Chains A and B, each alone.
Chain A
Amino acid sequence: MSALIEADLLAGDVDEGGGSGFGRYLATKIGGALVSLILVILSGFFLFRILPGDPVGELTHGAAVSAAQKEHLRHQFGLDRPWYGQFWSYLTSVLRGDFGTSFKYSRPVSHMIEDRLGATILLVGSATVLAIVIGVWLGTRAAWKQGSAFDKTHTSIALTLWSVPTFWLGLILLMVFAVGVGPIPGMFPTGGMTSPTAPPGFFNHIWDVFHHLVLPCITLVAVVYAQNLLVMRSSLLDEMGSDYLVTARAKGLRDDVVRRRHAVPNALLPTVTLIFLQLGFVVSGAVTVEVVFSWPGLGSLLYDGINVPDQPLLQGTFIVFSAAVIVMNVLADIVYRFIDPRVRAV
Chain B
Amino acid sequence: MIRRHPLTRRLIAGRSGRLRSRVAALGTCLAVAGLTAGPALIAAPPAQAANDKTLTVALTQDVDSLNPFLAYFSSSTQIGRLMYDFLTAYDPKDDHPVGGLADKWTTSADKLTWTYHIRDNEKWSDGQPVTAQDAAFTFNKIMTGQDTWGKANGSFVTNFKSVTATDDHTLVIKTSKPQATMLALDVPIVPEHVWKDVKDVTKYANDQGPVVGDGPFILTEWKQGQYVKLEANKNYWRGAPKISELIFQTYKDSDAAVQALLKGEVDMVNGLTAAQATALKKQKNVTLNQANGKRFTELSFNSGAETTKGVKIGNGNPALKDVKVRQALTYAIDKQQLATKVEGGYAQVAEGYIPALYKTYHWDPPASMKRSFDLKKAGDLLDQAGYPKGSDGKRHGKDGKPLSFRYTAHVDNSDEKLIGSYITGWFKDLGIGVKVQLESDTKLNEDLANGVWDLMMGGWTVNPDPDYVLSIQQCSVRPSGPPNGSTGSDQYWCNKTYDTLYQKQLADFNQTTRAATVKQMQEVMYQDAPSDILFYKNSLEAYRKDLFGGFQTQPEPGGQILNQDGFWGIYSATPASELKNSGDGNGTSNNTNGSQNASSSSDDSGGGHTTLIVVIVVIVVVVLGGGGGFAAMRRKKATAEERE
A residues touching B (Cβ–Cβ < 8 Å)?
Answer: 51-54, 56-70, 72-76, 101, 104-108, 112, 115-116, 134, 144-150, 153-154, 157, 171, 174-175, 177-180, 183-199, 207-208, 211, 214, 218, 237, 240-241, 249, 255, 290-294, 296, 300-301, 304, 307-309
Q: List, in ascending order, chain A residues with CB within 8 A of B611's CB.
A: 185, 187
Q: List, in ascending order, chain B residues with CB within 8 A of A149's CB.
A: 630-631, 633-635, 638
Asked if residues A195 and B604 are in contact (CB atoms below 8 Å), the reply is: yes
What is the CB-to-nearest-CB distance from A226 to chain B, in angstroms, rounded to a whole number?
13
What is the CB-to-nearest-CB distance from A192 to chain B, in angstroms, rounded to a whole number?
6
Q: List, in ascending order, chain A residues with CB within 8 A of B226's CB.
A: 192-194, 196, 294, 296
Which of B51, B224, B259, B486 interacts with A105 by CB under 8 Å?
A: B224
Q: List, in ascending order, chain B residues with CB within 8 A of A195's CB.
A: 603-604
User: Which among A105, A191, A214 has the highest number of chain B CB atoms within 10 Å?
Assistant: A191
CA distance A147 to B601 in the complex (A): 46
Q: List, in ascending order, chain B residues with CB within 8 A of A211's CB.
A: 603, 612
Given A149-B634, A186-B601, A190-B256, 9 additional A-B pairs, CB 8 A: A60-B72, A68-B158, A73-B147, A76-B147, A115-B224, A150-B20, A183-B38, A191-B249, A255-B11
Asked if residues B249 and A292 are in contact (CB atoms below 8 Å), the reply is: no
Q: List, in ascending order, chain B residues with CB within 8 A of A68's CB.
A: 146, 158
State whether the Cβ of B445 lies closer than 8 Å to any Cβ in chain A.
Answer: yes
What is the chain A residue whose CB lies nearest that of B204?
A: A106
Q: List, in ascending order, chain A residues with CB within 8 A of B460's CB.
A: 62
Q: List, in ascending order, chain A residues with CB within 8 A of B500's CB.
A: none
Asked if residues A218 and B604 are in contact (CB atoms below 8 Å), the reply is: no
Count B-side interface residues using an 8 Å CB cutoff.
Answer: 96
CA distance A149 to B226 in the complex (A): 45
Asked if residues A53 and B445 are in contact (CB atoms below 8 Å), the reply is: yes
Ranked 4 nearest A-B pairs via Cβ: A53-B442, A149-B634, A57-B486, A150-B631
Asked if residues A300 and B624 are in contact (CB atoms below 8 Å), the reply is: no
A62-B461, A190-B263 as given contacts; A294 in contact with B603, CB under 8 Å: no
A54-B446, A134-B624 as given contacts; A290 in contact with B252, CB under 8 Å: yes
Name 24 interchain pairs, CB-CB below 8 A, sorted by A: A52-B442, A53-B442, A54-B449, A57-B487, A65-B154, A66-B488, A70-B488, A115-B224, A179-B263, A185-B38, A185-B600, A186-B263, A190-B260, A190-B263, A190-B265, A191-B250, A191-B260, A196-B247, A214-B616, A218-B619, A291-B253, A292-B252, A300-B225, A307-B440
What is the CB-to-nearest-CB distance from B36 to chain A, in angstroms, rounded to a whole number?
8
Asked if residues A57 and B203 are in contact (CB atoms below 8 Å), the reply is: no
Asked if residues A61 and B445 are in contact (CB atoms below 8 Å), the reply is: yes
A175-B259, A195-B604 as given contacts; A207 in contact with B609, CB under 8 Å: yes
State whether the Cβ of B74 lies closer than 8 Å to any Cβ in chain A.
Answer: yes
Which of B205, B461, B477 interacts with A67 by CB under 8 Å?
A: B477
State whether the Cβ of B172 lies closer than 8 Å to any Cβ in chain A.
Answer: no
Asked if residues A307 and B441 are in contact (CB atoms below 8 Å), the reply is: yes
What is the chain A residue whose CB lies nearest that of B43?
A: A185
Q: List, in ascending order, chain B residues with CB within 8 A of A294's CB.
A: 226, 250-253, 256
A61-B445, A290-B252 as given contacts; A183 in contact with B39, CB under 8 Å: yes
State whether the Cβ of B398 lies closer than 8 Å to any Cβ in chain A.
Answer: no
User: Which among A56, A178, A241 has the highest number of chain B CB atoms within 10 Å?
Assistant: A178
What is the chain A residue whose CB lies nearest that of B259?
A: A179
CA distance A66 to B155 in the complex (A): 6
Q: List, in ascending order, chain B residues with CB within 8 A of A69's CB.
A: 146-147, 150-151, 154-155
Asked if residues A62 and B224 are in contact (CB atoms below 8 Å), the reply is: no
User: Which among A115, A146, A185, A207 has the highest number of chain B CB atoms within 10 Å?
Assistant: A185
State whether the Cβ of B67 lies closer than 8 Å to any Cβ in chain A.
Answer: yes
What is the CB-to-nearest-CB distance from A19 to chain B, in angstroms, rounded to a whole number?
42
What is the chain A residue whose CB lies nearest that of B3?
A: A241
A62-B460, A75-B147, A241-B2 as given contacts; A188 in contact with B225, CB under 8 Å: no
Indicate with 1 or 0, residue by residue over B439-463, a CB within 8 angstroms of chain A CB atoms: 0111101100100000000001101
Q: List, in ascending order, chain A residues with CB within 8 A of B43's CB.
A: 185
Asked if residues A51 and B2 are in contact (CB atoms below 8 Å), the reply is: no
What is the CB-to-nearest-CB distance from B196 to chain A, in angstroms, rounded to a whole number?
20
Asked if residues B39 and A185 are in contact (CB atoms below 8 Å), the reply is: yes
CA distance A302 to B12 in the complex (A): 49
Asked if residues A54 and B486 are in contact (CB atoms below 8 Å), the reply is: yes
Asked if residues A153 and B630 are in contact (CB atoms below 8 Å), the reply is: yes
Restricting to B480-534, which residues have a CB under 8 Å from any CB of A? Answer: 484-488
A67-B477, A72-B147 as given contacts; A150 in contact with B628, CB under 8 Å: yes
State whether the Cβ of B318 lies closer than 8 Å to any Cβ in chain A.
Answer: no
Q: List, in ascending order, chain B residues with CB within 8 A of A57's CB.
A: 445, 449, 485-487
Q: List, in ascending order, chain A residues with CB within 8 A of B67's CB.
A: 106
State whether the Cβ of B552 lies closer than 8 Å to any Cβ in chain A.
Answer: no
What is the CB-to-nearest-CB distance from B598 to chain A, in angstroms, rounded to a whole number?
13
Asked if residues B603 and A188 are in contact (CB atoms below 8 Å), the reply is: yes
Asked if residues A292 and B225 are in contact (CB atoms below 8 Å), the reply is: no
Asked if residues B627 and A157 are in contact (CB atoms below 8 Å), the reply is: yes
State whether the Cβ of B202 lies closer than 8 Å to any Cβ in chain A.
Answer: yes
Which of A108, A237, A307 interacts with B442 by CB under 8 Å?
A: A307
State whether the Cβ of B5 lies closer than 8 Å to any Cβ in chain A.
Answer: yes
Q: List, in ascending order, chain A residues with CB within 8 A of B147's CB.
A: 69, 72-73, 75-76
Q: List, in ascending order, chain A residues with CB within 8 A of B74's CB.
A: 62
A60-B72, A148-B631 as given contacts; A191 in contact with B263, CB under 8 Å: no
State whether the Cβ of B195 lies closer than 8 Å to any Cβ in chain A.
Answer: no
Asked if residues B54 and A64 are in contact (CB atoms below 8 Å), the reply is: no
CA distance A115 to B64 in the complex (A): 15
What is the CB-to-nearest-CB distance from B487 to chain A, in angstroms, rounded to a whole number?
8
CA distance A50 to B477 in the complex (A): 27
Q: List, in ascending order, chain B residues with CB within 8 A of A62's CB.
A: 72, 74, 460-461
Asked if residues B604 and A249 are in contact (CB atoms below 8 Å), the reply is: no
CA distance A86 to B633 in the complex (A): 67
What is the CB-to-nearest-CB distance from B281 to chain A, in angstroms, rounded to a whole number?
18
Which of B38, B223, B449, B635 interacts with A194 by CB under 8 Å?
A: B223
Asked if residues A184 and B158 are in contact (CB atoms below 8 Å), the reply is: no
State whether the Cβ of B434 lies closer than 8 Å to any Cβ in chain A.
Answer: no
Asked if residues B2 and A296 are in contact (CB atoms below 8 Å), the reply is: no
CA distance A101 to B147 in the complex (A): 14
Asked if residues A72 and B445 are in contact (CB atoms below 8 Å), the reply is: no
Restricting to B453-481, which residues have a CB under 8 Å from any CB of A? Answer: 460-461, 463, 468, 477
Asked if residues A174 and B259 are in contact (CB atoms below 8 Å), the reply is: yes
CA distance A61 to B489 in the complex (A): 11
Q: List, in ascending order, chain B residues with CB within 8 A of A175's CB.
A: 259
Q: List, in ascending order, chain B residues with CB within 8 A of A293's CB.
A: 256
Q: List, in ascending order, chain B residues with CB within 8 A of A185's CB.
A: 38-39, 42-43, 600, 611
CA distance A187 to B38 in the complex (A): 9
State whether the Cβ of B608 lies closer than 8 Å to any Cβ in chain A.
Answer: yes
Indicate with 1 or 0, residue by residue over B218-236, a CB within 8 angstroms of chain A CB atoms: 0001011111010000000
CA distance A284 to B630 in the complex (A): 37
Asked if residues B440 and A180 are in contact (CB atoms below 8 Å), the reply is: no
Asked if residues B203 and A51 are in contact (CB atoms below 8 Å), the reply is: no
What is the CB-to-nearest-CB distance from B116 to chain A, in angstroms, rounded to a whole number?
21
What is the CB-to-nearest-CB distance from B95 to chain A, in angstroms, rounded to a whole number?
16
Q: List, in ascending order, chain A residues with CB within 8 A of B89's CB.
A: none
What is the chain B residue whose CB lies nearest that of A189?
A: B603
What is the CB-to-nearest-CB distance from B351 to chain A, in angstroms, rounded to a whole number?
22
CA distance A153 to B20 in the complex (A): 14
Which of A53, A147, A177 interacts with B440 by CB under 8 Å?
A: A53
A56-B486, A69-B155 as given contacts; A184 in contact with B35, CB under 8 Å: yes
What is the CB-to-nearest-CB distance from A56 to chain B, in angstroms, rounded to a whole number?
6
What is the chain B residue whose CB lies nearest that of A296?
A: B225
Which of A73, A104, A107, A134 interacts with B205 by CB under 8 Å?
A: A107
Q: List, in ascending order, chain B residues with CB within 8 A of A188's CB.
A: 603, 612
What is the CB-to-nearest-CB distance from A227 to chain B, in angstroms, rounded to a whole number?
17
State whether the Cβ of B65 lies closer than 8 Å to any Cβ in chain A.
Answer: yes
CA distance A90 to B386 in the complex (A): 55
User: Which among B156, B445, B627 has the highest number of chain A CB atoms within 10 Å?
Assistant: B627
What is the CB-to-nearest-CB distance from B251 to chain A, in angstroms, rounded to a whole number?
5
What is the chain A residue whose CB lies nearest that of B11?
A: A255
A69-B155, A145-B12, A150-B628 as given contacts; A192 in contact with B249, CB under 8 Å: yes
